[in-house]
Amino acid sequence: MTDTVIAGMLGTAQAALERFHDVVVDDDGALTFAHGGVLCVVQGTELEEGLPVLNITCVVAWDLSDPDVPSRVGLGVGEGLFGTPRVVRGEHGWDVTLRYAFPASGLAEGPMGTLLMLVVSSASSMRAELVGD
């Protein structure tokens, strides 16, 4: 039953996102798309029995050489209300992601699209402030 619920949530997310973006459905059912230079993926999972959630991960920027990136992100660059930023030191510089997980069972296409676009907009704002796009 949970696989059916997760598939339904992903289907609603796909329909909501396709109003704004070209969406690719991966072999595992994950949805990928890009928004303003930000690469995003939406995946479904069950955190525990009876708690299916969608997780959106946005790759905000990568290989940033500015040594102040962790401080800037920590001080609220982009200042979005939806999502948790993460800064990791990669081989070629700082990589920044934004993640948000939420119970999505029963959300209609409109509210789902609003929620997803709030997360994506936060990621895009963060990217613009970090890389100047």
How many C-beta atoms lie closer than 10 Å to residue 86's C-beta? 13
pLDDT of 133: 54
pLDDT of 78: 61
Q: What is the pTM of this model?
A: 0.90
Block residue for tokens 């905000």? 60
pLDDT of 54: 97
Beta bridge partners of 90: 93
pLDDT of 121: 93
Beta bridge partners of 25: 31
pLDDT of 62: 95
53 in Cβ contact with 44 (< 8 Å): yes
**C-alpha–C-alpha distance, residues 111 and 124, integer Å:** 20
CA angle 114–51–33, rounded 5-degree value:
40
Q: Helix (H, G, I), strand (E, B), or coil: what is residue 2?
A: helix
Beta bridge partners of 105: none
Element (H, E) at 72: helix 69-74
The residues of the chain scoring below 70 in pLDDT are 1, 78, 133
Burial zone of 130 (CB within 10 Å; 0-12 exposed, 13-18 middle, 19+ buried)? buried
Element (H, E) at 133: none
Block residue for tokens 């895009």? 124
